[in-house]
Amino acid sequence: MAKTFYYDSVGLLESTINDGSVSLGGAGYNFSDGTTLTNEEYAIDQNITNAVTAWAQNDALSFDLGSAKAVDFLALYFNAAETDDVKFDYDSAATGDPDGTAATITDAFSANAWEVVEFTQQTKRYWRLIATSGGGLVGLTEVSFGKKLAFEVHPDIGISEKEKFGTSNTRSIGGAEYSLKIHEPIKTINLSFKNISETFKTNLQSMQSEVQNYKKFIYSEDGTTGDFHYVRLMNPIDFKEVAYQRHSCSISLITQI
């Protein structure tokens, strides 16, 4: 399967979030604004450590993108195993019945892992994440959605990976060495392409304009449910023209902890 980037193409980080609750009625779950959740801002703080809390059955988190934006995936990160169900609705209005449901997730969520679901693209302003099971949601630390970018070709053979140690080493005047572990090792990944199309180049440039080296995104090694990495761009993507409307490029990623 194609390797894939899943990234915030809709200004999710800048969106307005409102917690509330839903009730059955009309075309589906009728949303009303409220104060049901605690620490709801953790859902889009780019930190996979802190969880949104007090998320009971039929509680919901609404994301206002400011205008209708195209979305074709949802990614959720949990810091604890979770077996309750989630619905992801889209709407043209801030409250009331949704226009539809993009995804219903009934899989068991693994601890310290991403769950990524793709669906048919929808273009709406409001998106809502709803807990539909009796146990609510526990351990949800991060939400991401936007556009996926599947690679049109595999990177060149020889993808490089290395670790940056999170240790500070010092030596005393007497020669004794001391080490302080600041954080776990951080992996860096380098991808290179010798020949890509003008279309793929444009898509990569669009993604780069959205995320820069500021927003984190997800890199999937197999394009489905495989090895997900939460990453940032280390450097601007380096493009070179190798023939008419054909390009080479290199992409450097650094994983986030």
Q: pLDDT tens digits for 94-127?
A: 988 899 999 999 878 989 999 999 999 999 999 9
Whether 61 contacts 43, CB under 8 Å: yes
Residue type, 26: G
At 27-84, the pLDDT tens digits run: 667 899 999 999 999 999 999 999 999 999 999 999 999 999 999 999 999 999 999 8
Q: Which of 106, 156, 160 is nearest to 130 (CA)?
A: 106
Question: What confidence score (pLDDT) does residue 193 get?
Answer: 94
pLDDT at 24 (0 to 100): 75
Please determine, for residue 179, whether its predicted confidence score (pLDDT) is greater than 70: no
Query: For a pLDDT cut of 90, what percent of the chain falls above it?
Result: 72
Q: What is the CATH number of domain 8-147?
A: 2.60.120.260
Higher pLDDT, 157 or 192: 192
The neighbour count for residue 96, using CB atoms within 10 Å, is 17
Q: Is residue 135 scored above 80 in pLDDT? A: yes
Q: What tokens were used for 130?
A: 């709803």
Supply the pLDDT for residue 158. 59
The answer to whether 181 and 167 are in contact (CB under 8 A) is: yes
User: CA-CA distances (angstroms) from residue 47 to 33, 43, 143, 256?
Assistant: 25, 8, 10, 9
Confidence of residue 221 (pLDDT cuts 50, 70, 90): confident
Tell me the CA distances in angstroms from 54 to 51, 74, 93, 167, 178, one per residue in order.
Answer: 10, 22, 25, 36, 43
What band does 196 get if pLDDT is binned at 50, 70 and 90?
very high
Q: Return the higher-pLDDT residue of 244 and 28.
A: 244
Within the chain, what is the greatest distance between any pair of CA atoms? Answer: 77
Mean pLDDT lowest for which of 44-53, 170-179, 184-193? 170-179
**How much is the pLDDT for 130?**
94
Answer with the residue of higher pLDDT: 49 or 224.
Answer: 49
Mean pLDDT of the chain: 89
Percent of all residues in the chain with a pLDDT value above 70, rounded to a whole number: 88
Cβ-contact 113, 140 below 8 angstroms: no
The token duo for 83 is 């077996």
What's residue 4's pLDDT? Answer: 94
pLDDT number for residue 138: 93
Domain ranges of the chain: 8-147, 160-255
Report the range of poorest mean pLDDT among 67-81, 185-199, 206-220.
185-199
Nearest to 231 by CA among 4, 74, 14, 2: 4
